Structure 1
Amino acid sequence: MSHKIQGITIGIERVNADIFIKLTATGTLTHDDYQTITPILESALAGIKQANVKILLDATELDGWELRAAWDDFKLGLKHGNEFGKIAIVGDQHWQQKMAKLADWFISGEIKYFDSKESAMKWLF
């Protein structure tokens, strides 16, 4: 019997005055994934007054979103977009690079696409 892993893994740390969030997205994200992750992210972002949140999104294992999950992601970005200083998206697909450019229109912080975690981390810090 084989198991297909899918969903979002989250890590939250403080680095000096910054909040660093590492997200790893795997498989095809669903509305249920966002129902689980949204309260965790909102709790981590509660009380932030300035754009000092840095995010590393590892999308190398991401296949995409269900339609409702894509809407959940869009709403989350609109609600908290002013709190993000930098977002680094690491991927290996052309559509992921396009996703990063599209997200840049809705998020006030800087968003860049990378093909390696090392270069993404250098840019974030």
Structure 2
Amino acid sequence: MMSQQHGFSVGIERMNDQFVVHLKAFGTLTHEDYKTITPMLEGAFQQVEHPHIKVIADMTHLEGWELKAAWDDFKLGLKYGSSFDKVAVIGARPWQDTLAKIAGWFMGAKVEKFSDYSHAKAWLLE
């Protein structure tokens, strides 16, 4: 049996009430992946009364979500969505365009999809 790598790598930068979250997702995400990442994000965001969050999400190696993980992602977005200012999604797969559009509906953030990191980061910080 072959094991598949999956999960997140996360970096969080903070300047006063401003956060820039660098997120890289890979493989097929599981509920266990969200059990790991959610406390990290919540711990950082709860330190500030009204956080302003910008996200650069590298999804180039994301294959998808297990059903329970998709629900975890949705709940996380609902809980903090109004705190998000901008989300830059990096990806090359057509379904990621749809993902970016749907994410924008549920968050108060501007969501854009990019094919490379440099353009995504420039847009995020403008």
User: Which letter does structure 1 place at the counterpart of 2:68?
Assistant: R
Q: Which of structure 1's runs of 4+ aligned residues deviate more than 6 A?
A: none
Unaligned runs of 5+ in 1: none
3-state SS, counterpart of residue 96 of structure 2: helix
2:85 is the alignment partner of 1:85? yes
**Cα distance in structure 1, aligned partners of 2:16 and 2:114:** 24
Match of 1:37 in 2: 37
Contact kept, 8 Å, 1:51 with 1:82, in 2: the verdict is: no
Aligned match of 1:53: 53
- Match for residue 94 of structure 1? 94
> What is the deviation of 1:5?
2.2
For 1:16 and 1:46, locate their aligned partners in 2 and report how far apart those are by CA, in whole Å.
Answer: 13
TM-score, scaled to structure 1: 0.92
Give per-residue Cα distances to partners, 1:11-50, cap 9 Å, x unaligned. 0112575211101000000000001100001011114344
Report the residue type matching 1:41 in the other structure.
Answer: L
Cα distance per residue 1:50-103 (max 9 Å; x no partner): 452110000000000000100000000000001111110000100011100001
Query: Does structure 1 retain, via aligned residues, the 8 Å contact 2:55–2:88?
Result: yes
CA distance in 1 between counterparts of 2:45 and 2:17 reads 13
TM score, norm. by length of structure 2: 0.92
- After TM superposition, the structure 1 = structure 2 runs for residues 1-125 of structure 1, keeping only pairs within 5 Å, are 4-15=4-15, 18-50=18-50, 52-125=52-125
Identity %: 46
Contiguous gaps of at least 5 residues in structure 2: none
What amino acid does structure 2 have at the position aligned with 1:8?
F
For 1:123 and 1:16, how far apart are their aligned partners in 2?
A: 21
In structure 2, C-alpha distance between the alignment counterparts of 1:111 and 1:45, rounded to whole Å? 20
Residues 66 and 3 (structure 1 numbering): CA distance in 2 closer, same or farther, change over 3 Å? closer
Q: In 2, distance between residues paired with 1:32 and 1:16?
A: 31
